[in-house]
Chain A
Amino acid sequence: MDIKAVKTGWKKLAKAIEDVDYAVFGYDYSVSLEQSNVRDFATMMLDNGFYLVDLMAVHVAPSIEVVYQYAHVETRCRVMARAFVDSNNEIATISDIYQGANWHERETRDFHGVVFTDHPYLEPIILAEEDVDLKPLLKTEAALKDVDVVRRKQPEPKVETAAAKSQEPS
Protein backbone atom coordinates (compact mmCIF):
# COMPACT_ATOMS: atom_id res chain seq x y z
CA MET A 1 0.00 0.00 0.00
CA ASP A 2 1.26 3.44 -0.94
CA ILE A 3 0.20 5.65 1.94
CA LYS A 4 0.97 8.85 0.04
CA ALA A 5 -1.41 7.95 -2.77
CA VAL A 6 -4.04 6.89 -0.25
CA LYS A 7 -3.73 10.18 1.59
CA THR A 8 -4.13 12.10 -1.66
CA GLY A 9 -7.38 10.24 -2.16
CA TRP A 10 -8.56 11.14 1.33
CA LYS A 11 -7.88 14.80 0.73
CA LYS A 12 -10.58 14.92 -1.92
CA LEU A 13 -13.20 13.78 0.58
CA ALA A 14 -12.03 14.93 3.97
CA LYS A 15 -12.61 18.16 5.83
CA ALA A 16 -9.43 17.64 7.80
CA ILE A 17 -6.72 14.99 8.09
CA GLU A 18 -4.55 14.83 11.16
CA ASP A 19 -1.45 12.75 11.80
CA VAL A 20 -1.71 11.13 15.20
CA ASP A 21 1.06 9.84 17.46
CA TYR A 22 0.59 6.07 17.60
CA ALA A 23 2.66 5.68 20.76
CA VAL A 24 0.19 7.79 22.72
CA PHE A 25 -3.15 7.46 20.96
CA GLY A 26 -2.86 4.00 19.40
CA TYR A 27 -3.80 5.01 15.86
CA ASP A 28 -2.17 6.81 12.96
CA TYR A 29 -4.62 9.15 11.23
CA SER A 30 -7.74 11.02 12.16
CA VAL A 31 -9.96 11.93 9.21
CA SER A 32 -12.96 14.24 9.58
CA LEU A 33 -15.64 13.78 6.97
CA GLU A 34 -18.80 15.51 5.88
CA GLN A 35 -21.58 13.03 6.48
CA SER A 36 -22.36 12.96 2.77
CA ASN A 37 -18.90 11.50 2.11
CA VAL A 38 -18.84 8.49 4.41
CA ARG A 39 -19.91 6.11 1.66
CA ASP A 40 -17.35 7.36 -0.85
CA PHE A 41 -14.71 7.16 1.83
CA ALA A 42 -15.68 3.57 2.71
CA THR A 43 -15.51 2.56 -0.95
CA MET A 44 -12.08 4.13 -1.24
CA MET A 45 -10.87 2.32 1.86
CA LEU A 46 -12.16 -1.03 0.59
CA ASP A 47 -10.43 -0.49 -2.74
CA ASN A 48 -7.17 0.20 -0.93
CA GLY A 49 -7.41 -3.05 1.02
CA PHE A 50 -8.49 -1.69 4.40
CA TYR A 51 -10.83 -3.64 6.60
CA LEU A 52 -13.43 -2.18 8.92
CA VAL A 53 -12.33 -2.69 12.49
CA ASP A 54 -15.19 -1.01 14.23
CA LEU A 55 -18.03 1.44 13.91
CA MET A 56 -19.37 3.32 16.90
CA ALA A 57 -21.00 6.54 18.03
CA VAL A 58 -20.03 9.15 20.60
CA HIS A 59 -22.71 11.46 21.94
CA VAL A 60 -21.34 14.99 22.10
CA ALA A 61 -22.85 18.43 21.66
CA PRO A 62 -24.02 19.61 19.17
CA SER A 63 -24.77 16.19 17.66
CA ILE A 64 -23.79 12.52 17.66
CA GLU A 65 -20.49 11.65 16.06
CA VAL A 66 -20.07 8.35 14.26
CA VAL A 67 -16.54 6.96 14.26
CA TYR A 68 -15.33 4.42 11.70
CA GLN A 69 -12.13 2.61 12.51
CA TYR A 70 -10.18 1.16 9.58
CA ALA A 71 -6.92 -0.76 9.55
CA HIS A 72 -4.73 -2.39 6.96
CA VAL A 73 -3.43 -5.95 7.02
CA GLU A 74 -0.13 -5.29 5.26
CA THR A 75 1.23 -2.17 6.90
CA ARG A 76 0.35 -0.52 10.14
CA CYS A 77 -2.15 2.16 9.22
CA ARG A 78 -4.98 2.66 11.66
CA VAL A 79 -7.48 5.31 10.69
CA MET A 80 -10.31 6.90 12.65
CA ALA A 81 -12.77 8.49 10.27
CA ARG A 82 -15.49 10.59 11.86
CA ALA A 83 -18.66 12.29 10.74
CA PHE A 84 -21.58 13.92 12.50
CA VAL A 85 -25.12 12.74 11.97
CA ASP A 86 -27.68 15.19 10.59
CA SER A 87 -30.46 16.90 12.54
CA ASN A 88 -32.69 13.80 12.23
CA ASN A 89 -29.92 11.58 13.67
CA GLU A 90 -29.45 10.07 10.23
CA ILE A 91 -26.38 9.02 8.33
CA ALA A 92 -25.96 6.79 5.30
CA THR A 93 -25.26 3.10 5.82
CA ILE A 94 -22.02 1.55 4.62
CA SER A 95 -23.27 -2.00 5.16
CA ASP A 96 -23.51 -2.65 1.42
CA ILE A 97 -19.82 -1.74 1.05
CA TYR A 98 -18.52 -3.32 4.23
CA GLN A 99 -21.00 -6.06 5.16
CA GLY A 100 -19.37 -6.23 8.59
CA ALA A 101 -20.81 -2.78 9.29
CA ASN A 102 -24.31 -4.25 9.28
CA TRP A 103 -24.25 -5.42 12.89
CA HIS A 104 -22.18 -2.50 14.12
CA GLU A 105 -24.76 -0.11 12.68
CA ARG A 106 -27.60 -2.02 14.30
CA GLU A 107 -25.75 -1.84 17.61
CA THR A 108 -25.20 1.89 17.21
CA ARG A 109 -28.91 2.33 16.54
CA ASP A 110 -29.63 0.35 19.73
CA PHE A 111 -27.33 2.38 21.92
CA HIS A 112 -27.53 5.87 20.43
CA GLY A 113 -30.58 5.87 18.16
CA VAL A 114 -28.57 6.73 15.06
CA VAL A 115 -30.60 5.88 11.97
CA PHE A 116 -28.53 4.45 9.14
CA THR A 117 -30.49 5.23 6.00
CA ASP A 118 -30.95 2.38 3.51
CA HIS A 119 -29.78 -0.21 6.03
CA PRO A 120 -31.35 -3.54 5.03
CA TYR A 121 -32.47 -4.64 8.50
CA LEU A 122 -32.12 -1.96 11.16
CA GLU A 123 -33.65 -3.95 14.02
CA PRO A 124 -32.42 -4.23 17.63
CA ILE A 125 -29.49 -6.62 17.89
CA ILE A 126 -27.95 -6.39 21.36
CA LEU A 127 -30.96 -4.95 23.16
CA ALA A 128 -34.31 -6.66 23.39
CA GLU A 129 -37.04 -5.79 20.91
CA GLU A 130 -39.09 -3.93 23.52
CA ASP A 131 -36.12 -1.67 24.29
CA VAL A 132 -36.12 -0.23 20.80
CA ASP A 133 -36.36 3.34 22.12
CA LEU A 134 -34.12 2.96 25.15
CA LYS A 135 -30.92 4.41 23.62
CA PRO A 136 -28.94 3.75 26.81
CA LEU A 137 -25.69 5.43 25.80
CA LEU A 138 -27.18 8.83 25.08
CA LYS A 139 -25.90 11.32 27.64
CA THR A 140 -28.16 13.23 29.97
CA GLU A 141 -28.17 16.96 29.52
CA ALA A 142 -25.96 17.40 32.58
CA ALA A 143 -23.41 14.86 31.39
CA LEU A 144 -23.33 15.93 27.75
CA LYS A 145 -20.03 17.55 26.81
CA ASP A 146 -19.17 19.82 23.94
CA VAL A 147 -17.18 18.20 21.16
CA ASP A 148 -14.18 20.46 21.83
CA VAL A 149 -13.95 19.15 25.38
CA VAL A 150 -13.29 15.59 24.25
CA ARG A 151 -10.85 16.52 21.48
CA ARG A 152 -7.15 16.16 22.16
CA LYS A 153 -5.45 19.37 23.12
CA GLN A 154 -2.83 20.48 20.65
CA PRO A 155 0.48 21.19 22.35
CA GLU A 156 0.78 24.91 23.01
CA PRO A 157 3.18 26.58 20.61
CA LYS A 158 6.27 27.73 22.43
CA VAL A 159 6.19 31.47 22.84
CA GLU A 160 9.28 33.32 23.87
CA THR A 161 8.14 35.56 26.66
CA ALA A 162 10.11 37.96 28.71
CA ALA A 163 9.29 35.95 31.84
CA ALA A 164 10.60 32.72 30.32
CA LYS A 165 13.75 34.46 29.19
CA SER A 166 14.45 35.94 32.58
CA GLN A 167 14.32 32.41 34.13
CA GLU A 168 17.10 31.18 31.86
CA PRO A 169 20.50 31.13 33.47
CA SER A 170 22.60 33.87 32.01
Chain B
Amino acid sequence: MAMDVEILDDPKHHRYVLNMGPQHPSTHGVLRVLLELEGEYAMELLPVLGYGHRCHEKIAEHKPAKSFMPNTARMDYLGALIYNHGFAQLLERATGIEVPERAEYIRVITSELNRIQSHLLWYGAYLLDLGAFTPIMYAFDDREHILDILEDVTGSRLTYCYFRVGGVSKDIDDKFVTSTRAFIDRLRSRFPMYEGLVNGNVILQKRLIDVGELDPKICSRYGITGPLLRGAGVGYDLRKSEPYSIYDRFDFEVPTETKGDCMASFLVRFREMEQSLRIIEQALDSLPEGPVMAAKVPKKLKIPAGDYNSSVEAPRGELSYYLVSDGTDVPYRLKVRTPSYSNLSVIPEMCQGMLLSDVVSAMGALDLVIPEIDR
Protein backbone atom coordinates (compact mmCIF):
# COMPACT_ATOMS: atom_id res chain seq x y z
CA MET B 1 0.00 0.00 0.00
CA ALA B 2 1.53 3.25 -1.05
CA MET B 3 1.81 5.99 1.52
CA ASP B 4 -0.22 8.72 -0.07
CA VAL B 5 -0.84 10.59 3.14
CA GLU B 6 -1.17 14.31 2.83
CA ILE B 7 1.18 15.44 5.54
CA LEU B 8 -0.33 18.54 7.01
CA ASP B 9 1.76 21.35 8.43
CA ASP B 10 2.47 19.60 11.68
CA PRO B 11 1.82 15.90 11.32
CA LYS B 12 2.37 15.20 15.01
CA HIS B 13 -0.52 17.48 15.76
CA HIS B 14 -2.95 15.22 13.93
CA ARG B 15 -1.79 11.96 15.38
CA TYR B 16 -3.64 10.02 18.01
CA VAL B 17 -3.36 6.58 19.57
CA LEU B 18 -6.08 4.02 19.14
CA ASN B 19 -6.22 0.91 21.25
CA MET B 20 -7.37 -2.18 19.37
CA GLY B 21 -8.05 -5.14 21.58
CA PRO B 22 -7.57 -7.15 23.73
CA GLN B 23 -11.30 -7.63 23.29
CA HIS B 24 -11.57 -6.53 19.69
CA PRO B 25 -13.35 -9.15 17.53
CA SER B 26 -10.87 -9.03 14.67
CA THR B 27 -7.84 -9.73 16.85
CA HIS B 28 -9.32 -13.23 17.40
CA GLY B 29 -8.39 -13.57 20.99
CA VAL B 30 -6.68 -11.55 23.63
CA LEU B 31 -4.26 -9.64 21.46
CA ARG B 32 -3.89 -5.90 21.78
CA VAL B 33 -2.48 -3.64 19.12
CA LEU B 34 -1.65 -0.01 19.82
CA LEU B 35 -2.09 2.01 16.67
CA GLU B 36 -0.79 5.47 16.13
CA LEU B 37 -3.16 6.91 13.58
CA GLU B 38 -3.04 9.87 11.34
CA GLY B 39 -6.54 10.29 10.04
CA GLU B 40 -7.43 6.75 9.01
CA TYR B 41 -3.86 5.70 8.33
CA ALA B 42 -1.90 3.57 10.76
CA MET B 43 1.54 5.13 11.06
CA GLU B 44 2.95 3.02 13.90
CA LEU B 45 1.79 -0.31 15.29
CA LEU B 46 2.77 -1.92 18.55
CA PRO B 47 1.36 -5.38 19.30
CA VAL B 48 1.04 -6.14 23.02
CA LEU B 49 1.07 -9.83 23.86
CA GLY B 50 1.03 -12.16 26.79
CA TYR B 51 -2.52 -11.90 28.11
CA GLY B 52 -2.97 -15.63 27.71
CA HIS B 53 0.44 -16.79 28.88
CA ARG B 54 0.11 -20.13 30.67
CA CYS B 55 3.77 -21.01 31.29
CA HIS B 56 3.73 -24.15 29.13
CA GLU B 57 7.51 -24.22 28.91
CA LYS B 58 7.87 -23.93 32.68
CA ILE B 59 5.30 -26.68 33.21
CA ALA B 60 7.26 -28.91 30.82
CA GLU B 61 10.32 -28.74 33.08
CA HIS B 62 8.40 -30.10 36.01
CA LYS B 63 6.84 -33.34 34.86
CA PRO B 64 7.75 -36.37 32.75
CA ALA B 65 7.94 -35.48 29.08
CA LYS B 66 5.23 -37.97 28.14
CA SER B 67 2.65 -36.21 30.25
CA PHE B 68 3.18 -32.90 28.44
CA MET B 69 1.02 -34.12 25.55
CA PRO B 70 -2.27 -32.47 26.69
CA ASN B 71 -0.46 -29.13 26.96
CA THR B 72 0.50 -29.24 23.30
CA ALA B 73 -3.17 -29.28 22.29
CA ARG B 74 -3.87 -26.19 24.33
CA MET B 75 -1.37 -24.01 22.54
CA ASP B 76 -2.96 -24.07 19.11
CA TYR B 77 -6.55 -25.11 19.65
CA LEU B 78 -7.12 -25.30 15.90
CA GLY B 79 -4.16 -27.52 15.11
CA ALA B 80 -4.12 -29.65 18.24
CA LEU B 81 -3.41 -32.94 16.48
CA ILE B 82 -0.54 -31.46 14.54
CA TYR B 83 0.91 -30.17 17.80
CA ASN B 84 0.43 -33.68 19.21
CA HIS B 85 2.22 -35.04 16.17
CA GLY B 86 5.27 -32.84 16.53
CA PHE B 87 5.68 -33.64 20.18
CA ALA B 88 5.17 -37.38 19.81
CA GLN B 89 7.69 -37.37 16.99
CA LEU B 90 10.20 -35.50 19.15
CA LEU B 91 10.12 -38.13 21.88
CA GLU B 92 10.06 -41.01 19.42
CA ARG B 93 13.16 -39.69 17.71
CA ALA B 94 14.94 -39.20 20.98
CA THR B 95 14.16 -42.63 22.39
CA GLY B 96 14.18 -44.61 19.15
CA ILE B 97 10.62 -45.91 19.49
CA GLU B 98 9.19 -47.23 16.21
CA VAL B 99 5.63 -46.26 15.38
CA PRO B 100 3.49 -48.97 13.73
CA GLU B 101 2.49 -48.35 10.10
CA ARG B 102 -1.21 -48.14 10.80
CA ALA B 103 -0.66 -45.55 13.50
CA GLU B 104 1.33 -43.38 11.09
CA TYR B 105 -1.53 -43.51 8.60
CA ILE B 106 -4.08 -42.64 11.25
CA ARG B 107 -1.89 -39.74 12.37
CA VAL B 108 -1.70 -38.37 8.85
CA ILE B 109 -5.43 -38.75 8.20
CA THR B 110 -6.49 -37.11 11.45
CA SER B 111 -3.83 -34.39 11.20
CA GLU B 112 -5.02 -33.44 7.73
CA LEU B 113 -8.64 -33.39 8.87
CA ASN B 114 -7.49 -31.10 11.62
CA ARG B 115 -5.76 -28.85 9.11
CA ILE B 116 -8.89 -28.56 6.94
CA GLN B 117 -10.91 -27.80 10.04
CA SER B 118 -8.49 -25.00 10.93
CA HIS B 119 -8.59 -23.55 7.43
CA LEU B 120 -12.39 -23.66 7.37
CA LEU B 121 -12.59 -21.73 10.61
CA TRP B 122 -10.09 -19.20 9.30
CA TYR B 123 -12.10 -18.91 6.09
CA GLY B 124 -15.34 -18.11 7.86
CA ALA B 125 -13.84 -15.86 10.50
CA TYR B 126 -11.70 -13.93 8.06
CA LEU B 127 -14.64 -13.14 5.83
CA LEU B 128 -16.62 -12.18 8.89
CA ASP B 129 -13.85 -9.69 9.75
CA LEU B 130 -14.19 -8.26 6.30
CA GLY B 131 -17.91 -7.77 6.74
CA ALA B 132 -19.33 -10.81 4.98
CA PHE B 133 -21.57 -12.59 7.43
CA THR B 134 -22.91 -15.51 5.36
CA PRO B 135 -19.75 -17.53 4.54
CA ILE B 136 -19.02 -18.42 8.16
CA MET B 137 -22.34 -20.27 8.29
CA TYR B 138 -21.34 -22.43 5.35
CA ALA B 139 -17.81 -22.94 6.61
CA PHE B 140 -18.98 -23.95 10.08
CA ASP B 141 -21.51 -26.30 8.56
CA ASP B 142 -18.66 -28.19 6.87
CA ARG B 143 -16.35 -27.88 9.84
CA GLU B 144 -18.94 -29.44 12.12
CA HIS B 145 -18.66 -32.69 10.14
CA ILE B 146 -14.92 -32.87 10.85
CA LEU B 147 -15.45 -32.16 14.53
CA ASP B 148 -18.00 -35.00 14.71
CA ILE B 149 -15.68 -37.41 12.92
CA LEU B 150 -12.74 -36.53 15.16
CA GLU B 151 -14.86 -36.56 18.30
CA ASP B 152 -15.85 -40.16 17.65
CA VAL B 153 -12.29 -41.34 17.53
CA THR B 154 -10.46 -38.96 19.89
CA GLY B 155 -13.13 -38.20 22.46
CA SER B 156 -12.83 -34.43 22.24
CA ARG B 157 -13.89 -31.75 19.84
CA LEU B 158 -11.07 -29.26 19.94
CA THR B 159 -8.18 -29.84 22.33
CA TYR B 160 -7.35 -33.35 21.19
CA CYS B 161 -4.88 -35.48 23.07
CA TYR B 162 -5.03 -38.46 20.78
CA PHE B 163 -1.45 -39.26 19.84
CA ARG B 164 0.81 -41.12 22.21
CA VAL B 165 4.51 -41.77 22.20
CA GLY B 166 4.59 -44.86 20.00
CA GLY B 167 1.25 -44.52 18.25
CA VAL B 168 -2.30 -43.33 18.85
CA SER B 169 -4.57 -44.02 21.80
CA LYS B 170 -7.43 -45.69 19.92
CA ASP B 171 -7.87 -47.46 16.60
CA ILE B 172 -10.20 -46.05 13.97
CA ASP B 173 -13.21 -48.11 12.89
CA ASP B 174 -15.23 -48.60 9.71
CA LYS B 175 -17.57 -45.80 10.70
CA PHE B 176 -14.64 -43.39 10.73
CA VAL B 177 -13.55 -44.50 7.27
CA THR B 178 -17.03 -44.23 5.74
CA SER B 179 -17.82 -40.89 7.29
CA THR B 180 -14.42 -39.47 6.29
CA ARG B 181 -14.95 -40.62 2.71
CA ALA B 182 -18.41 -39.09 2.73
CA PHE B 183 -16.93 -35.86 4.04
CA ILE B 184 -14.32 -35.77 1.27
CA ASP B 185 -17.07 -35.98 -1.36
CA ARG B 186 -19.13 -33.40 0.46
CA LEU B 187 -16.35 -30.82 0.78
CA ARG B 188 -15.27 -31.33 -2.84
CA SER B 189 -18.82 -30.63 -3.99
CA ARG B 190 -18.83 -27.45 -1.93
CA PHE B 191 -15.62 -25.93 -3.33
CA PRO B 192 -17.25 -24.60 -6.54
CA MET B 193 -19.91 -23.01 -4.37
CA TYR B 194 -17.29 -21.28 -2.20
CA GLU B 195 -15.45 -20.08 -5.26
CA GLY B 196 -18.59 -18.66 -6.79
CA LEU B 197 -19.94 -17.18 -3.60
CA VAL B 198 -16.75 -15.72 -2.18
CA ASN B 199 -13.44 -15.97 -4.02
CA GLY B 200 -14.57 -14.18 -7.14
CA ASN B 201 -16.47 -11.51 -5.24
CA VAL B 202 -15.35 -8.07 -6.32
CA ILE B 203 -15.67 -6.55 -2.85
CA LEU B 204 -13.43 -9.25 -1.42
CA GLN B 205 -10.89 -8.71 -4.15
CA LYS B 206 -10.81 -4.97 -3.49
CA ARG B 207 -10.17 -5.65 0.18
CA LEU B 208 -7.38 -8.18 -0.40
CA ILE B 209 -5.51 -7.52 -3.61
CA ASP B 210 -2.35 -5.42 -3.15
CA VAL B 211 -2.88 -5.27 0.60
CA GLY B 212 -0.11 -6.40 2.95
CA GLU B 213 2.42 -7.50 0.39
CA LEU B 214 5.26 -9.70 1.59
CA ASP B 215 8.25 -10.80 -0.46
CA PRO B 216 10.51 -13.81 0.21
CA LYS B 217 13.25 -11.57 1.57
CA ILE B 218 11.08 -10.04 4.28
CA CYS B 219 9.77 -13.53 5.07
CA SER B 220 13.25 -14.84 5.78
CA ARG B 221 14.16 -11.78 7.83
CA TYR B 222 11.15 -12.35 10.06
CA GLY B 223 11.01 -16.15 9.92
CA ILE B 224 7.59 -16.14 8.30
CA THR B 225 6.45 -19.61 7.23
CA GLY B 226 3.29 -21.36 6.17
CA PRO B 227 0.67 -20.05 3.73
CA LEU B 228 2.07 -16.50 3.94
CA LEU B 229 5.48 -17.63 2.67
CA ARG B 230 3.88 -19.81 0.01
CA GLY B 231 1.75 -16.86 -1.03
CA ALA B 232 4.99 -14.95 -1.58
CA GLY B 233 6.10 -17.58 -4.08
CA VAL B 234 8.26 -19.91 -1.98
CA GLY B 235 6.99 -23.48 -2.09
CA TYR B 236 8.23 -24.32 1.38
CA ASP B 237 6.15 -26.88 3.18
CA LEU B 238 7.78 -29.14 5.75
CA ARG B 239 5.62 -32.03 4.60
CA LYS B 240 7.60 -31.87 1.35
CA SER B 241 10.87 -30.17 2.33
CA GLU B 242 11.64 -32.26 5.39
CA PRO B 243 9.17 -35.10 4.95
CA TYR B 244 8.33 -36.38 8.41
CA SER B 245 6.08 -39.28 9.35
CA ILE B 246 4.95 -40.87 6.05
CA TYR B 247 4.20 -37.74 4.03
CA ASP B 248 6.73 -38.74 1.38
CA ARG B 249 4.42 -41.57 0.32
CA PHE B 250 1.61 -39.34 -0.86
CA ASP B 251 1.13 -37.47 -4.07
CA PHE B 252 0.13 -33.88 -3.31
CA GLU B 253 1.07 -30.41 -4.39
CA VAL B 254 2.21 -27.37 -2.47
CA PRO B 255 0.02 -24.50 -3.71
CA THR B 256 1.88 -21.24 -4.22
CA GLU B 257 1.09 -17.75 -5.44
CA THR B 258 3.53 -15.05 -6.41
CA LYS B 259 2.25 -11.72 -5.21
CA GLY B 260 2.47 -12.21 -1.48
CA ASP B 261 -0.54 -10.01 -0.75
CA CYS B 262 -3.56 -10.97 1.33
CA MET B 263 -5.28 -12.45 -1.72
CA ALA B 264 -2.29 -14.73 -2.33
CA SER B 265 -2.32 -16.29 1.12
CA PHE B 266 -6.11 -16.47 0.92
CA LEU B 267 -5.94 -18.55 -2.26
CA VAL B 268 -3.08 -20.69 -0.95
CA ARG B 269 -5.07 -21.66 2.14
CA PHE B 270 -8.14 -22.34 0.07
CA ARG B 271 -6.25 -24.66 -2.29
CA GLU B 272 -4.50 -26.40 0.57
CA MET B 273 -7.80 -27.86 1.68
CA GLU B 274 -8.06 -29.76 -1.59
CA GLN B 275 -4.50 -31.04 -1.19
CA SER B 276 -5.27 -32.24 2.33
CA LEU B 277 -8.29 -34.08 0.95
CA ARG B 278 -6.01 -35.78 -1.58
CA ILE B 279 -3.66 -36.92 1.16
CA ILE B 280 -6.52 -38.27 3.25
CA GLU B 281 -7.97 -40.10 0.26
CA GLN B 282 -4.68 -41.80 -0.57
CA ALA B 283 -4.07 -42.67 3.05
CA LEU B 284 -7.51 -44.25 3.38
CA ASP B 285 -6.94 -46.26 0.20
CA SER B 286 -3.68 -47.71 1.45
CA LEU B 287 -4.53 -47.98 5.15
CA PRO B 288 -2.70 -51.08 6.45
CA GLU B 289 -3.96 -53.42 9.15
CA GLY B 290 -2.06 -53.93 12.36
CA PRO B 291 -1.49 -52.50 15.82
CA VAL B 292 -1.76 -48.77 16.54
CA MET B 293 0.68 -48.67 19.43
CA ALA B 294 4.31 -49.71 19.64
CA ALA B 295 4.69 -52.94 21.58
CA LYS B 296 7.07 -51.63 24.20
CA VAL B 297 6.89 -48.07 25.42
CA PRO B 298 8.54 -47.83 28.83
CA LYS B 299 6.38 -46.31 31.51
CA LYS B 300 9.25 -44.11 32.57
CA LEU B 301 10.56 -42.77 29.30
CA LYS B 302 14.19 -41.78 29.83
CA ILE B 303 15.50 -39.43 27.17
CA PRO B 304 19.24 -39.78 26.48
CA ALA B 305 21.21 -36.60 27.19
CA GLY B 306 21.44 -34.19 24.29
CA ASP B 307 19.26 -31.74 22.41
CA TYR B 308 16.51 -32.73 20.01
CA ASN B 309 14.39 -30.89 17.52
CA SER B 310 11.15 -31.79 15.79
CA SER B 311 9.59 -29.56 13.17
CA VAL B 312 6.21 -30.10 11.57
CA GLU B 313 3.96 -28.10 9.26
CA ALA B 314 1.16 -26.64 11.34
CA PRO B 315 -1.79 -24.89 9.64
CA ARG B 316 -0.08 -21.53 10.19
CA GLY B 317 3.49 -22.50 9.42
CA GLU B 318 6.44 -24.13 11.01
CA LEU B 319 6.09 -25.58 14.48
CA SER B 320 9.31 -26.63 16.20
CA TYR B 321 9.84 -28.34 19.50
CA TYR B 322 13.35 -28.10 20.89
CA LEU B 323 14.14 -30.29 23.85
CA VAL B 324 17.27 -30.35 25.96
CA SER B 325 17.59 -33.47 28.06
CA ASP B 326 19.89 -34.28 30.94
CA GLY B 327 19.23 -37.99 30.65
CA THR B 328 16.16 -38.19 32.90
CA ASP B 329 12.50 -38.50 31.88
CA VAL B 330 11.81 -34.84 32.70
CA PRO B 331 12.91 -32.32 30.05
CA TYR B 332 15.67 -29.99 31.17
CA ARG B 333 14.36 -27.34 28.79
CA LEU B 334 11.59 -27.41 26.22
CA LYS B 335 11.14 -24.58 23.76
CA VAL B 336 8.14 -24.41 21.48
CA ARG B 337 8.53 -22.32 18.37
CA THR B 338 5.05 -21.45 17.23
CA PRO B 339 4.42 -20.10 13.74
CA SER B 340 2.07 -17.26 14.67
CA TYR B 341 4.66 -15.71 16.97
CA SER B 342 7.09 -15.08 14.14
CA ASN B 343 4.32 -14.31 11.64
CA LEU B 344 2.75 -11.66 13.85
CA SER B 345 6.06 -9.93 14.49
CA VAL B 346 6.01 -8.59 10.92
CA ILE B 347 2.89 -6.50 11.62
CA PRO B 348 4.68 -3.24 12.50
CA GLU B 349 6.58 -3.28 9.22
CA MET B 350 3.86 -4.77 7.05
CA CYS B 351 1.06 -2.45 8.11
CA GLN B 352 2.93 0.83 8.35
CA GLY B 353 1.06 3.51 6.44
CA MET B 354 -1.98 1.34 5.83
CA LEU B 355 -5.61 2.27 6.09
CA LEU B 356 -7.11 1.03 9.34
CA SER B 357 -9.55 -1.16 7.42
CA ASP B 358 -6.63 -2.74 5.57
CA VAL B 359 -4.91 -3.49 8.87
CA VAL B 360 -7.88 -5.74 9.62
CA SER B 361 -7.41 -7.46 6.24
CA ALA B 362 -3.70 -7.93 6.87
CA MET B 363 -4.12 -9.25 10.40
CA GLY B 364 -6.78 -11.70 9.26
CA ALA B 365 -4.45 -12.96 6.55
CA LEU B 366 -1.97 -13.95 9.27
CA ASP B 367 -4.59 -16.42 10.56
CA LEU B 368 -3.65 -15.70 14.16
CA VAL B 369 -4.25 -18.07 17.00
CA ILE B 370 -3.36 -16.07 20.07
CA PRO B 371 -2.92 -18.93 22.60
CA GLU B 372 -0.05 -20.30 20.50
CA ILE B 373 1.61 -16.89 20.54
CA ASP B 374 1.28 -16.43 24.29
CA ARG B 375 1.83 -20.09 25.20
Contact = CB atoms under 8 A, between A and B. Distances in A.
Interface of A: 23-27, 46, 49-54, 56, 58-59, 67, 69, 71, 73, 76, 78, 80, 97-100, 102-104, 111, 124-128, 136-137, 145, 149-153
Interface in B272-325: 304-311, 318, 320, 322, 324-325
Interface string B49-69: 110010101100100000000
B223 A67 contact: no
Contacts of A23: 93
Contacts of B216: 73
B39 to A, nearest CB: 26
Contact of B221 (A53, A80, A100): A100
Interface of B: 49-50, 53, 55, 57-58, 61, 90, 93-94, 96, 216, 219-225, 229, 234, 236, 241-242, 304-311, 318, 320, 322, 324-327, 332-333, 335, 337, 341-342, 345-346, 349, 374-375
A73 B226 CA distance: 11
Contact of B55 (A100, A136, A145, A152): A136
Contacts of B221: 46, 51, 97-100
Nearest to A49: B220
A26 B220 contact: no
Given A51-B219, A102-B345, A152-B306, A125 B333 contact: no
A25 B306 contact: yes
Given A54-B337, A126-B375, A150-B332, A26 B223 contact: no
Given A67-B322, A127-B50, A137-B333, A150 B345 contact: no
B349 to A, nearest CB: 7
* A-B interface, 7 closest residue pairs, ranked by CB to CB distance from nearest: A152-B306, A26-B309, A51-B220, A100-B223, A100-B222, A54-B337, A56-B335
Given A25-B307, A73-B236, A125 B50 contact: yes
Nearest to B335: A56
B120 to A, nearest CB: 27
Nearest to A112: B333
Most buried by B among A102, A128, A150: A150
B159 to A, nearest CB: 21
A79 to B, nearest CB: 10
B326 A153 contact: no
